[in-house]
Structure 1
Amino acid sequence: MTFIARFLYWLCWCLFRPFLLWVRYKTAPADVQQHLALDLSRPICFVLPVRSWTDLFVLQSLCKRLKLPVPYRSGRDLPAPGRPAVLYQPALQENRPQTRALEQLMGDAVTTLDYDVQLVPVSVFWGRDPGSETSLFKLLFADSVQAGRMRKLFIVLANGRSVLLNFGNPLSFKQFMRGEQDPKRAMRKLSRLFNLHFLRARSATLGPSLLQRTTMIRSLLGAQQVRLAIEAEARERGITLDQAQARARKIADEITADYSSSWLKLLALILTPVWHRIFAGIEVRGLERVREIAQGHEMLYLPSHRSHLDYLLVSYTLYQSGLAPPHIAAGVNLNFWPVGGLLRRGGAFYMRRSFSGEKLYSTIFRTYVDALIKRGYSISFYPEGTRSRSGRLLQPKTGLLAMVVESALRQRARKVMIVPVYLGYDKLAEANSYAKELGGGGKKKESAQGLLKATKILNKSFGRAYINFGEPIRLADFADLQLPDWRQSFGSDVEPQRPAGYAQAVNRLAKETMRRINDAAVAYPVALISVAILAAPQRAVAEQDLVRQIGYLVNWLQRHPYSSEVILPVAEPREILDRAAPIARLSRIPHTWGDLMWADGKIAPQLTYYRNNVQHLFALPSLVANLFRARFQVSEDTVVAGARALYPFLRTEFFLHWRREELEAEVRSVIATMLDLGLLIRADDGFLQRPEVNSAAFSSLAMLGRVLSETLERYCMTTLLLAADRRLGSIPRAGFEEDCRLLAERAAVLTGRMAPEFFDKSLFRGYVSTLIELGVVREDEDQVLHVDARIDGIAERALDLLGGDAQQTILQLLSSRRAPAAANPV
């Protein structure tokens, strides 16, 4: 650098230094050092997207604070180890004297034998506002790559408290230049590469520019399909066109979000102390993969739905991680004062439970979803449609998914990625209300009064919250497999032309999403301790035995993980117990021979929720263990056959990911792991044996078997009841499912279980649907069931899986079902 250039640089640094006291910044990813993994023995060059000494000063300050190599303007010198440099991306594409000097540097680098440099792209975002197409204020003060010196000063003053530095993956100059000898050509290639990276990074971090809500509503009402729907509404209802337009405007006003980056910034400031108050921590996994794919895709987040906190937690996590929060499809029941407007400004758009008979509403909603997809906004909604009251995933509802997928496939400009998200909580704020609703209590309507009562959670501790972003689904690739002709079918017509088999493909996509949510399960301490304590007889166990049973569960997850996406936050059994026991409110009963741990009758029903969050992780080994409940010795082929017969029901209830043709190999793998752990023994004749009854291994095998005991009891009730009713010839489905619920409810009372989720009617509905898919039961157009004679054998095999007490209880209940009361003796 010349003397004048150095002097100007020093002068600007002195002038800007006071502003550094004003600037507050954070990085994406949070752990930059681990993410970059820079080799300090090789030269380093940071690449900034625009010429800005302000950005450079902030980068230097951050690097000093994080003890990263501090970059400086290198002038005409190549970066060297211990002397990091900075490069402005526009220098790669401008024809100026310094560009010719840069060409010379590139030429020197090309001809220097074995020369390499680590190129690190860094985007500096002043504020998180993507800009508004209709706001003069934001055009002046929102961050912009075209900002001049004076405007940059205003941007620093307005947004200096919210600066984000986004670090990309380092690029090896040597690998990039492999086979390239022309410096000018190399510069053009490098320029295109970094230009694409910076554009994608900006889109992933800020999202597309925002339209004012009034502009969006005007655009919706002006769309051709909406105008046609308004005219049809006027004709069908016998009203004037003005009245139909007024109704359409009211619908659009009800639906449309009022996304505000300023409100998101304020919300993040408010929520940070709230989360710190009610949670001991928020553990997030899988974000790096999300950050990577968000650079080139429009994101569709599909989380599990456990709590009302889900809405805020997912958006907050993405925002704090340097990613644009999504627009969120929320139930219209949440659109009450003041929550409705606040959520709307956070990106919520509202939808009714049913669109039936509302053609105008359906058209406007569909057009709005189209607009969000076409403009590149990320979207989030809950495929279950409602919060799970039992802790297990619900069967997905495909109405909104079908709309979103169609909109995504009809536009070709942006690739769409579906990201399944698993959420879990050590303690759920709604646990008590869920238990009451499952027990038959009415669902409370959301209201401002209920919101005031909900503020009580600020005085309680809820342990930790867990978020795991699972393996994404590239929508176009899925459509290629399921709908080969979708590109031809989806044209640019106003009326959608869905390809044949579209509904079935969307249903398969929904099921696959639910399976990937479960693949990303977090086996958090409260869930593991709930599995162990609920699998103990009478929900009581010696403390040292409980630690050992937790150890078996942990050992299983480590030796035979359900999927590569599963997270085990804590792996030490004693630490799991110490962390979870107070949150789970287990009772400790002192005893001379060792303390006992017990879940009393009030706590046990709540623990079933947390157990159900991770029950699927142990479903297959539990099924294998149950095949040894009544038998000491079983052949391996018999175990495989038994698992094959019951697997369709488990796959439906737990969204297990193995296809039917993969099952045998997985069952044999489970058996091999159980042999390694000593839970099963291979006899000399090749048969499988369970351990001796007085051994610790038998205790663990029995515990593992009881993980599925309630599921198998419900399955047995369903098949036995169908076998008993088969003689009637035809069975109304609704009445039969209610009978199943009543039978399970009575069994729960008699066995002292009293867990409302045990007699959840939706589970019996799933069993019947699976039997229909297997061809054992047929359902006619009037929803009447016709049962095949094969049900008798199925019911008999199901009964063999239960213990003696459970068998006796169910058979006695069936024999006394609907029996008239005996007359009083004289």
Structure 2
Amino acid sequence: MAGTIAGMLYALAWAIFRPFSRYVRYRTIPTPLGDQLKLDPNKPVVYVLATRDWSDLFVLDRICSDLGLPRPARTGADFPTVNRPAVVYLPALLEERRQATELSTLIETAASTRDFDAQVVPVSVFWGRDPGSETSLFRLLFADSVQAGRIRKLFIMLANGRSVLANFGLPLPFREYMDRAPNAALGQRKLTRVLHFHFLRARTAALGPTLLRRQVVVDGLLVSHGVQAAIEAEAASGEGKHSEILRKARRYAEEIAADYSNASINLLERFLGGMVFKRVFRDIDVRGLERVREWAQGHEIIYVPSHRSHADYLLVSYALYHGGLVPPHIAAGINLNFWPVGGLLRRCGAFYMRRTFAGNRLYTAVFRAYVDALIQRGYSIEFFPEGGRSRTGRLLAPKTGLMSMIVEASLRQRSRKVALVPVFIGYDKCWEVASYSKELRGAQKTKESADGLLKAGKILSKSYGKAYINFGEPVLLQDHADRHLPGWRDTLVADSDAKPEGFKRFVSDLAFETAQRTNAAAVANPNGLAAVALLASPQRVVSRDEFIEQIGHLIWLLKGLPLGPDQVLPESSPAAVVDWAVPIARIARVSHPWGDVYGVAGRDAVLMTYNRNNIQHLFAIPGLIANLYRTRWLLSEEAIVTGVRALYPFLRTEFFLPWPAEEVETVTRRCLDVMLQLGLLEREDDHRLRRPEVTNPSYSTLSMLGRVMGETLERYCMTALLLADERRNQQKLPRERFEADCRLLAERMALLTGRDAPEFFDKTLFRGYLNTLIDVGLVTETAERTLAVDARIDRIAERSLELLSDEARQTLLQLLQRRKPGSGDVEAPADTNGSR
């Protein structure tokens, strides 16, 4: 009788829901669902829903119907079959552990039937994506909840029916759980426990922790131990009354804290997806999201992306939201806190930070307390280790201030594990690249403002190709600290300011590690590959056949010597790569009876350097090897290995390459094998390696590869020659003046050789090279920031000249002969606007 009444109620509920079904708009994860689930058609399917709710079942039925998956049926007293999949609710599974029910009897029978197996698929259905706030009326009425009754569920469905997320877990093998347990009852309990934790973690990953009202957050910061200590210290030093300092701390907290709102997230997602991204980008190519979803099940996620554009944080949040993950709180520069953008970004999770904390003890304490609070409550965070957008397209050296705060806060709490996820972000065309070029030539950075936002509307009328997001391999922070930071578990505890010995070095190494993993997840997009090949061709002009052949060689080099398993290569042919890049990069095409010719010049060539620099690190080793053949035609393998070994520390620092120094010989020999297979090098009878004959088509590719690293090696040579020259002068060498001299020499070289790459004289690159020379002991920096140069630099300077072309060598030596020593601190930077 009870079963008949339940069946009638179910039929009535379905009749009521059916008209509403078309109103429901859902998104499923993972995507594509059928390919990811990989259901065995020869085994029954049992869907498990997180809540006992018919509306969830009706949505599940519609999804399965739309996507061609086995449609669920009410279990009843019958075994599920291949043709009749079943559905059960997690609460029912929990109940049957305490008392015998029709369901428990069915499970016991299935467990004891040795030839019965099923695929158990957990499904979480989220009506809306709002975790709610702890004291909001909205949460009481409209936010989805596992405790919602039927009336409240109706409100939830009406409010959130257009934003349903269905999270399908991977199938669990029923028979495997039963057979591994000593008895069927224990197997049932273990399977139920696994399902229970899966649903809890899936909910946290999709919705995030419960939100606190912003005022509650601010009040909590002011009473934290660190802020109270800073207030007392300032009051004791006579910097103001206690009440005045407290008000100042509150202003700081109000300036910093986000005001996360799911309604704002939904609004921005629809605006970006419907109006901006569809017009600006042909597609957003997202890779590695499935792994992030897995890590989010058991870790608090800290995203550490590369920073190319203001679009970066919008794209990452958009991709995560579309992928069924909660968007992170984002550390944003205070320069973005202008009307009307500042408030909107704050409601979408942005918290603002000043460019420098130096000398402001109170601000530092408030900001640190805010970071601690985010970590303690389990919010995902996103910050850009580079500290600002890369103007050159290269990954910048990471800054460790915020990294240190986040690492310390993460290790002091013990409630959850933390994963730092590197994210490579790339574009076929970055929309700020023109302004970057001007800034590199000395123009002032344009301040972000509402007026600038209106002018940026012209972006919507242009196409920028694809945007690329690739989530790399994470650093599991606690495990990493166990290996590299002894004693941290005893030292980094709550309510203590103590840090273990070597903590600063640990953070610095960790920052370098995340940068390496970011570059190892690089996407070799069509525009980047086209830029590498075309900008390294003589006069930046190449025939179509040669262009296609060179891009094919570049792709095969990356396949043979990848930086890591997360690296992404084009799935299309080299010819399709060329055809994709030509209109976006504004590559000129000239028809000719002997075949089309492609070229780029002037402003377009300058802008293309940004795309090249995004992926130049991928060709560091083959480019260096090819460069060794610029003035030679025959080399022994040992000579090549020696040459690469000598320069690898500098390449590793500049390009964040993943291989430790002791592996460079193996990597070099593997690269040589690939180049031999591609015909870029040929082996003589005496086992020496020679370059192809000039008439061989592979010769042009080898020459192109050598020029890819030409400017980098010229910078190395300039620095070594300048150091050798200064050593001979035996005068005091301030570091600041020496870095200025390096820049002036590079600017002069660019003017005389017609360089179109303004990053050629970027001061940060010379600074990084000098730091590496200090690390390897060839240069010593004193406390007064003066440089002492080792005599070995003379030999290095002499050998580095061999890496340059005849023209570059001649120009550089003449410049050094005519320069005015010590002029870097008085001479104004050269105006390079006239260079081609």
1:406 to 386, 405, 408: 408
Q: Given that residues 563 and 658 in structure 2 are in contact (C-alpha distance below 8 angstroms), is that contact kept between their aligned partners in structure 1?
A: no
Give the secondary-structure state (helix, strand or coil) at the position aligned to 2:95: coil
CA offsets 1:268-324 (integer angstroms, 9 cap, x no match) = 111112100110000000000001110111000000000000111100110111100
Q: Given that residues 234 and 245 in structure 2 are in contact (C-alpha distance below 8 angstroms), is that contact kept between their aligned partners in structure 1?
A: yes
Task: Using the TM superposition, give the Cα deviation of residue 441 of structure 1 relative to its aligned residue in structure 2, in angstroms.
Answer: 1.0
Q: Aligned partners of 1:606, 1:716: CA distance in 2, in Å?
A: 25
Give the secondary-structure state (helix, strand or coil) at the position aligned to 1:734: helix
What is aligned with 2:362?
Answer: 360
Task: Using the TM superposition, give the Cα deviation of residue 4 of structure 1 relative to its aligned residue in structure 2, in angstroms.
Answer: 2.4
What is aligned with 2:566?
Answer: 565
Q: Aligned partners of 1:226, 1:505: CA distance in 2, in Å?
A: 26
CA offsets 1:634-663 (integer angstroms, 9 cap, x no match) = 111111111000001100110000001111
Q: Aligned partners of 1:43, 1:138: CA distance in 2, in Å?
A: 38
Give the secondary-structure state (helix, strand or coil) at the position aligned to 2:121: strand
Report matched runs for 1:160-171 at 5 Å.
160-171=161-172
Q: Aligned partners of 2:409, 2:264: CA distance in 1, in Å?
A: 28
Q: Name the aligned partner's letter for residue 698 of structure 1.
A: Y
Q: Aligned partners of 1:819, 1:260: CA distance in 2, in Å?
A: 59
CA offsets 1:748-796 (integer angstroms, 9 cap, x no match) = 1111113211110110001110100110000001111110110010011
CA offsets 1:4-26 (integer angstroms, 9 cap, x no match) = 22222111100111221221111
Structure 1 window deviating more from structure 2 (339-348 vs 13-22): it is 13-22
Task: Using the TM superposition, give the Cα deviation of residue 183 of structure 1 relative to its aligned residue in structure 2, in angstroms.
Answer: 3.2
Q: Name the aligned partner's letter for residue 164 of structure 1.
A: L
Q: Aligned partners of 1:275, 1:207: CA distance in 2, in Å?
A: 25
Q: Aligned partners of 1:266, 1:490: CA distance in 2, in Å?
A: 40
Structure 1 window deviating more from structure 2 (484-493 vs 357-366): it is 484-493
Q: Aligned partners of 2:342, 2:524: CA distance in 1, in Å?
A: 34
Report matched runs for 1:477-556 at 5 Å.
477-493=479-495, 495-556=496-557
Structure 1 window deviating more from structure 2 (173-182 vs 752-761): it is 173-182
Report matched runs for 1:260-271 at 5 Å.
260-271=261-272
Q: Aligned partners of 1:411, 1:585: CA distance in 2, in Å?
A: 52
2:808 to 802, 806, 809: 806
Q: Aligned partners of 2:759, 2:350: CA distance in 1, in Å?
A: 31
In the alignment, is residue 52 of structure 1 matched against residue 57 of structure 2?
Answer: no
What is aligned with 2:831?
Answer: none
What is aligned with 1:739?
Answer: 741
Task: Using the TM superposition, give the Cα deviation of residue 629 of structure 1 relative to its aligned residue in structure 2, in angstroms.
Answer: 1.6
Task: Using the TM superposition, give the Cα deviation of residue 693 of structure 1 relative to its aligned residue in structure 2, in angstroms.
Answer: 1.6
Give the secondary-structure state (helix, strand or coil) at the position aligned to 1:50: coil
CA offsets 1:402-456 (integer angstroms, 9 cap, x no match) = 0000000000001000100000011111011000011111111111111111111
What is aligned with 2:192?
Answer: 191
Task: Using the TM superposition, give the Cα deviation of residue 243 of structure 1 relative to its aligned residue in structure 2, in angstroms.
Answer: 1.0
CA offsets 1:183-210 (integer angstroms, 9 cap, x no match) = 3322222221111000000000000000
In the alignment, is residue 207 of structure 1 matched against residue 185 of structure 2?
Answer: no
What is aligned with 1:628?
Answer: 629
What is aligned with 2:17?
Answer: 16
Task: Using the TM superposition, give the Cα deviation of residue 706 of structure 1 relative to its aligned residue in structure 2, in angstroms.
Answer: 1.0
Q: Aligned partners of 2:575, 2:615: CA distance in 1, in Å?
A: 19
Q: Given that residues 283 and 465 in structure 1 are in contact (C-alpha distance below 8 angstroms), is that contact kept between their aligned partners in structure 2?
A: yes
Q: Name the aligned partner's letter for residue 517 of structure 1.
A: T
Task: Using the TM superposition, give the Cα deviation of residue 246 of structure 1 relative to its aligned residue in structure 2, in angstroms.
Answer: 1.0
Q: Given that residues 318 and 325 in structure 1 are in contact (C-alpha distance below 8 angstroms), is that contact kept between their aligned partners in structure 2?
A: yes
Q: Name the aligned partner's letter for residue 240 of structure 1.
A: K
Structure 1 alignment gaps of length 5 or more:
822-826
Structure 2 alignment gaps of length 5 or more:
824-836
Q: Aligned partners of 1:492, 1:554: CA distance in 2, in Å?
A: 50
Report matched runs for 1:411-430 at 5 Å.
411-430=413-432
Q: State the TM-score, normalizing by the size of structure 2.
A: 0.96
What is aligned with 1:645?
Answer: 646
Q: Given that residues 640 and 664 in structure 1 are in contact (C-alpha distance below 8 angstroms), is that contact kept between their aligned partners in structure 2?
A: yes
What is aligned with 1:774?
Answer: 776
Moved beyond 6 Å, runs of 4+: none
Paired residues, number: 820
Q: Given that residues 132 and 139 in structure 1 are in contact (C-alpha distance below 8 angstroms), is that contact kept between their aligned partners in structure 2?
A: no
CA offsets 1:690-728 (integer angstroms, 9 cap, x no match) = 111221111111111111001001111110111111123
Task: Using the TM superposition, give the Cα deviation of residue 554 of structure 1 relative to its aligned residue in structure 2, in angstroms.
Answer: 1.4
Q: Given that residues 45 and 85 in structure 2 are in contact (C-alpha distance below 8 angstroms), is that contact kept between their aligned partners in structure 1?
A: yes
What is aligned with 1:385?
Answer: 387
Structure 1 window deviating more from structure 2 (461-470 vs 584-593): it is 584-593
CA offsets 1:523-582 (integer angstroms, 9 cap, x no match) = 000000000001101111112211111111112222332321111134311100111011
What is aligned with 1:146?
Answer: 147
Q: Given that residues 120 and 169 in structure 1 are in contact (C-alpha distance below 8 angstroms), is that contact kept between their aligned partners in structure 2?
A: yes
Give the secondary-structure state (helix, strand or coil) at the position aligned to 1:301: strand
In the alignment, is residue 259 of structure 1 matched against residue 255 of structure 2?
Answer: no
CA offsets 1:577-632 (integer angstroms, 9 cap, x no match) = 11101111111223332222111121111111100100011110111111122111
Q: Aligned partners of 1:209, 1:438: CA distance in 2, in Å?
A: 44
CA offsets 1:129-174 (integer angstroms, 9 cap, x no match) = 0011011222221000000111111110111111000001110111
Q: Aligned partners of 2:663, 2:187: CA distance in 1, in Å?
A: 49
Q: Given that residues 217 and 252 in structure 1 are in contact (C-alpha distance below 8 angstroms), is that contact kept between their aligned partners in structure 2?
A: yes
Alignment RMSD: 1.5
Task: Using the TM superposition, give the Cα deviation of residue 231 of structure 1 relative to its aligned residue in structure 2, in angstroms.
Answer: 2.3
Q: Aligned partners of 1:210, 1:139: CA distance in 2, in Å?
A: 14
Q: Aligned partners of 2:566, 2:227: CA distance in 1, in Å?
A: 43
Q: Given that residues 125 and 164 in structure 2 are in contact (C-alpha distance below 8 angstroms), is that contact kept between their aligned partners in structure 1?
A: yes
Report matched runs for 1:465-480 at 5 Å.
465-480=467-482
Q: Aligned partners of 1:559, 1:735: CA distance in 2, in Å?
A: 43
Q: Aligned partners of 1:738, 1:238: CA distance in 2, in Å?
A: 39
What is aligned with 2:26?
Answer: 25
Task: Using the TM superposition, give the Cα deviation of residue 111 of structure 1 relative to its aligned residue in structure 2, in angstroms.
Answer: 1.9
Q: Aligned partners of 2:287, 2:615: CA distance in 1, in Å?
A: 17
Q: Name the aligned partner's letter for residue 550 of structure 1.
A: I
Q: Name the aligned partner's letter for residue 622 of structure 2.
A: P
In the alignment, is residue 291 of structure 1 matched against residue 293 of structure 2?
Answer: yes
Task: Using the TM superposition, give the Cα deviation of residue 99 of structure 1 relative to its aligned residue in structure 2, in angstroms.
Answer: 4.9
What is aligned with 2:70?
Answer: 69
Q: Aligned partners of 1:768, 1:179: CA distance in 2, in Å?
A: 60
